[in-house]
A = this chain, B = another copy of it.
Amino acid sequence: MSDHSEAPVAPVQAFEPPYYVAVFTALRTQDQSDYSETNARMEELVNDIPGYLGMDHAQTPGGLGITVGYFRDADALTQWRTNAEHRSAQKRGRADWYESYTLHVAKVERSHGFVRA
């Protein structure tokens, strides 16, 4: 859920399947008060989850944002989903920050990557 748009960052690599992706697609409201601070805190928290592998984020200006979290197994995802601070942030998100969102939780069956030589 990073909002950073500094230097280009490389996409998170392909891991050895199986692993899990949490795909969060969202359209935000005009009211983004406290969003950045909460987002930074969530990044800290998720980094502490054993089995958390990384995150990709892209944000079309004035449009859709997509965050993809990568997790080694279902247990890592459960830990993140049930984290108390995370749940509180989700509640605030529905109250203030998001116009609409969808979450898709999926088990990766295959993956591959490409990096220019």
Contact = CB atoms under 8 A, between A and B. Distances in A.
B112 A100 contact: no
Contacts of A20: 106
Given A58-B59, A102-B14, A9 B114 contact: no
Nearest to A20: B106
A94 interface: yes
A13 interface: yes
Contact of A61 (B5, B56, B68, B98): B5
Q: How large is the interface on A (under 10, 10 to 19, 20 to 34, 35 or more residues)?
A: 35 or more
A105 B100 contact: no
A50 interface: no
B60 A57 contact: yes
A103 interface: yes
B102 A60 contact: no
Nearest to A65: B58
Nearest to A114: B101
Interface of A: 5-14, 20-21, 23, 25-27, 29, 56-66, 68, 70, 94, 98-116
